[in-house]
Amino acid sequence: MRYRRRPAARASREAAATGRMQTRAGIHVSTHTGSHTGIRTGGHASAASGGAAWRGYLLSHVHSLFHSLGRMARAPWTTLMTVAVIGIALALPAGLYVLLQNLQAAGAGWQHDARISLFLHRTLPLEEAAALAERLRGWPEVAAVTLVTPEAALEEFRRLSGFEAALEALGENPLPAVVVVLPRLEARDAARLQALLERLRQQAGVERAQLDLAWVQRLFALMEIGRRGVLVLGLLLSLAVLLVVGNTIRLAIENRREEIEVQKLVGATDGFIRRPFLYGGMLHGLAGAVLAWLLVQLAVLALAGPVRHLAVLYRSELTLQGLGAGVTLLLLACGALLGLAGAWLAVARHLREIEPA
């Protein structure tokens, strides 16, 4: 019986080997038979091998990501200090950006309330001042006209200034009549306002015309300077983030020098060795960006109450706004990219210096 089983077992092994050979060379067999079965078999095998390669590549990246997270969790104080420095560095320009955005929103509201004040000659009769106001109401670019008599102006000045005794000592009213002109919304750009101001200055009885929007324009000029300053500060602090992340990754490379030498001895590529450090830098930058967002939002919440009280005193509806969704995503992306760039620079420089003895 033992002698009979040997040929059967050998035949089974030969059939299996023949099947494997035919499977591997399916494309050649099908060529001789004139069918396309072998081509389809080879295509499916190639697609399967390509899918397996992609799965392996993705799994390698996932492994590197969790490996970097684990190393950060095993050194909490070092990670916390690095993330805190990055967060503060990113929070400074982000906070100044929020401040400028709120000032710009407030200035836009003030700009829509632009008024032109016409100070009339003191000797001009009140009837002529009323006639001038009535004539200006017919202009197409004028939305409303208000005539403030000298008595009304003096009463308002007395109420707001608190100099009742000094005004009584003057004996006579030193204030002239004032015509307040409110332009229409479509005429409130800088060029049209300037043209309207020049026309009003040429009217009879007008001693001086003043655009109440001039200080708002100066404020916008200052905010433009501030915007440039925020950009410069952001670039400098981005460089600081690059240096902080680069130094952190450099220390991590030095601490793992022996491990890297062993990896190179067994044939690991530079890309495989570099990958965990790159993920570590990106995670540090992303965590710093999240901390910066939290710091800015906490600052906005702390200042929202006093700003609301100030707006009520000025009869304004201004509310302090924080970082929007788009700016938040941009902040997170910048933090992650800065961390990745800092890690790449550090790894590219120091990894070449490590070679197995």
Domain shared by 184 and 256, yes or no: no
Among 41-45, 87-91, 296-300, where is mean pLDDT lowest? Answer: 41-45
Query: CATH number for the domain including 129?
Result: 3.30.70.3040
Is residue 181 assigned to a domain?
Answer: yes
Residue pLDDT, tens place only, 282-338: 999 999 999 999 999 999 898 888 878 877 776 666 777 888 888 899 999 999 999
- C-beta of residue 183 within 8 angstroms of C-beta of residue 137: no
Among residues 212, 242, 274, the one where a domain terminates is: 212
Residue 282 vs residues 9, 239, 289, 344: alpha-carbon distances, Å: 58, 15, 11, 10
Contacts (Cβ under 8 Å, ≥6 apart) of 277:
68, 249, 252, 253, 343, 346, 347
Domain shared by 94 and 122, yes or no: no
SS3 of 147-213: EECHHHHHHHHHHHHCCHHHHHHHCCCCCCCEEEEEECHHHCCHHHHHHHHHHHHCCCCEEEEEECC
Handedness of CA 250, 252, 253, 254 (dihedral sign): positive
Among residues 152, 178, 212, the one where a domain terminates is: 212
Domain shared by 225 and 104, yes or no: yes
Number of domains in the chain: 2
- C-beta of residue 240 within 8 angstroms of C-beta of residue 89: yes
**Domain interval for residue 133:** 115-212
pLDDT at 38 over 50: no
| pLDDT recorded at residue 335 | 92
Domain shared by 283 and 305, yes or no: yes
For 44-82, b where at least 16 C-beta lie within 10 A, e where not — what string? Answer: eeeeeeeeeeeeeeeeeeeebbeebeebbeeeeeebeeb
User: Would you list the DSSP string of 16-85?
Assistant: HHHHHHHHHTHHHHHHHHT-SHHHHHHHHHHHHHHHHHHHHHHHHHHHHHHHHHHHHHHSHHHHHHHHHH
Higher pLDDT, 97 or 174: 97
Domain shared by 332 and 255, yes or no: yes
Is residue 23 assigned to a domain?
Answer: no
Is residue 9 assigned to a domain?
Answer: no
3-class secondary structure, 117: strand
- C-beta of residue 208 within 8 angstroms of C-beta of residue 179: no
In the sheet with 206-211, reading across from the earlier edge strand, the strands are 142-148, 178-183, 116-120, 206-211
Residue pLDDT, tens place only, 131-157: 888 888 888 888 888 888 888 877 777
| pLDDT recorded at residue 87 | 92
Among 65-74, 125-134, 208-217, 232-241, where is mean pLDDT lowest? Answer: 208-217
| pLDDT recorded at residue 213 | 64
Closest alpha carbon to 290 in 74, 36, 90, 46: 90
Per-residue pLDDT band at 168 (split at 50, 70, 90): low
Is residue 313 assigned to a domain?
Answer: yes
How much is the pTM?
0.60
3-state helix, strand, coil in the chain (%, to 5): 75, 5, 15
